[in-house]
């Protein structure tokens, strides 16, 4: 256990804010929509676009992605971050990078279009965080967006492939470890972004286009109706005025700006050897150094859960960590420590799904909507596939 803790990697999980815990100590004493493993072989041509598989954008199979049942469960799990007085201070920064690509291209070419200026801007934002001695980057999340021209499936594939290739560029350019620190997502066509740009513009056709957005959510129907306006003049102006601002990578960079209260290595040794002497604050701050889903993250939270059984935060995260490694019985034990705590509903839904009980899973995901509506809706979508 100690070896795994010492060899851990930095990371941070999905966030939900909970009140501080009681710091009283205690002595340490099936069916998942048939997601098959997909093997993707490299073709040697990085710009090759992968054929669609008929799934929503975030589920489309693209190079370097392999999905199995446990990985789907892991996407459904949420983790808890405690109040500010217990957790390290995390500074979040959003960076937009507008990368130009040739038609159908997915690789980042610094010499193409205005890429050089955009990549220099990216470096100016990232380097100070990477070189900071007061903590370090704990997560970089890349989200790829495409403009809604062309076909929807083609744009989804492009957004996904471009996001992955941008991650490859980022890892190489800034010498970052490929250990989960940098994650990738994509949303395909950014209709919401287009709607916002048009609403803020002074274009004479704005109200007519926004009315189309209001009437239908279907991308092809929207495109067809907009193309028909003023013999195509409106669509051409939208393409010229707005589409370029929609093709982009959004980076969310999180960095820790508060160090632990004692030497990190010594504290980890103490957590392993004398957990009863470790404060709850130091347990939580140490856990934040590791990526959710790793052995190290799980071990720190399990030791914290046994040491501070009255703290809901550590019980819930210990349960989540057990779920992430497929250990249903350990997860059940930690869930039992928090009784009917509503903040456990989402992960209880995941546990039910792992047990093959879709009906109970659906019920829990509905109950979790007030706590984490976006994740709950996504989990309900997955269950109903």
DSSP 163-193: HHHHHHHHHHHTT--SSSSEEEEEEEE-HHH
Judgement on whether residues 226 and 316 belong to the same structural domain of the protein: no
Judgement on whether residues 198 and 334 belong to the same structural domain of the protein: no
pTM for this predicted structure:
0.46
Does residue 265 belong to any structural domain of this protein?
A: yes
Does residue 26 belong to any structural domain of this protein?
A: no
* pLDDT at 49 (0 to 100): 37
Judgement on whether residues 287 and 217 belong to the same structural domain of the protein: no
- Find the CATH number of the domain harbouring 202: 3.30.1330.60
Does residue 369 belong to any structural domain of this protein?
A: yes
Judgement on whether residues 286 and 343 belong to the same structural domain of the protein: yes
Number of domains in the chain: 2
Does residue 45 belong to any structural domain of this protein?
A: no
Does residue 348 belong to any structural domain of this protein?
A: yes
* pLDDT at 4 (0 to 100): 53
Judgement on whether residues 97 and 216 belong to the same structural domain of the protein: yes
- Pick the last residue of a domain from 229, 256, 283: 256
- Pick the last residue of a domain from 200, 224, 256: 256
Residue numbers of the domain that contains 237: 90-256
Judgement on whether residues 251 and 114 belong to the same structural domain of the protein: yes
Q: What are phi and psi of 96, to 5 degrees?
A: -105, 130
Judgement on whether residues 147 and 263 belong to the same structural domain of the protein: no
295-317 per-position pLDDT tens digit? 999 999 999 999 999 999 999 99
How do the pLDDT tens digits run along the chain, 385 residues long? 554 554 443 333 333 444 446 555 554 433 333 333 333 333 344 444 334 334 344 444 433 333 478 888 888 999 987 764 455 556 677 888 999 888 788 999 999 989 999 999 999 888 877 765 445 678 899 999 989 988 888 988 989 999 999 999 999 999 988 888 899 999 889 999 999 999 999 999 999 999 999 999 999 999 999 999 999 999 999 999 999 889 889 998 887 654 444 467 788 888 888 888 888 888 888 888 888 888 999 999 999 999 999 999 999 999 999 999 999 999 999 999 998 899 899 999 999 999 999 999 999 999 999 888 999 999 999 998 7
* pLDDT at 31 (0 to 100): 36
Does residue 148 belong to any structural domain of this protein?
A: yes
Helix spans in the chain (H): 2-6, 69-76, 115-131, 152-173, 191-200, 206-215, 219-228, 233-241, 243-246, 264-273, 280-287, 295-307, 312-324, 328-337, 345-354, 358-367, 373-383
- Pick the last residue of a domain from 196, 230, 256: 256
């Amino acid at each position: 256990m100690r070896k795994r803790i010492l060899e851990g990697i930095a990371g941070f999980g999905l966030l939900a804010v909970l009140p501080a815990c009681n710091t009283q100590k205690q002595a340490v004493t099936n069916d998942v929509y048939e997601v098959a493993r997909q093997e993707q072989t490299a073709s040697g041509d990085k710009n090759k676009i992968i054929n669609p598989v008929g799934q929503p954008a975030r589920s489309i199979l693209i190079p370097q992605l392999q999905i199995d049942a446990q990985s789907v469960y892991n996407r459904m799990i949420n983790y808890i971050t405690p109040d500010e007085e217990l957790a390290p201070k995390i500074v979040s920064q959003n960076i937009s990078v507008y990368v130009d690509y040739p038609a159908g291209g997915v690789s980042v070419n610094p010499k193409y279009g205005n890429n050089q200026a955009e990549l220099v801007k990216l470096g100016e934002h990232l380097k100070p965080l990477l070189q900071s001695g007061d903590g370090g980057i704990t997560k970089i999340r890349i989200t790829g967006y495409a403009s809604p021209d062309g076909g929807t499936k083609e744009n989804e594939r492009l957004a996904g492939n471009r996001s992955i290739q941008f991650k490859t560029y980022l890892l190489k350019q800034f010498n970052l470890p490929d250990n989960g620190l940098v994650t990738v997502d994509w949303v395909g066509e950014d209709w919401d972004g287009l709607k916002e740009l048009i609403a803020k513009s002074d274009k004479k056709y704005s109200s007519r286009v926004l009315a189309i957005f209001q009437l239908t959510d279907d991308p092809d129907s929207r495109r067809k109706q907009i193309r028909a306006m003023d013999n195509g003049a409106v669509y051409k102006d939208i393409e010229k005025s707005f589409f370029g601002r929609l093709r982009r990578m959004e980076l969310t960079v999180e960095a820790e700006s508060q160090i632990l209260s004692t030497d990190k290595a010594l504290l980890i040794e103490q957590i392993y050897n004398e957990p009863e002497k470790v404060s709850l604050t130091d347990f939580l701050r140490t856990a934040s150094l590791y990526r959710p889903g790793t052995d190290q993250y799980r071990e720190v939270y399990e030791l914290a859960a046994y040491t501070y059984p009255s703290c809901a935060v550590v019980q819930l995260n210990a349960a989540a960590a057990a779920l992430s490694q497929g250990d249903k019985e350990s997860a059940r034990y930690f869930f039992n420590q928090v009784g009917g705590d509503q903040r456990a509903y989402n992960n209880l839904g995941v546990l039910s799904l792992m047990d093959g009980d879709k009906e109970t899973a659906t019920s829990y995901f509905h109950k979790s909507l007030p706590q984490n509506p976006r994740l709950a809706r996504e989990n309900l979508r997955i269950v109903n596939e």
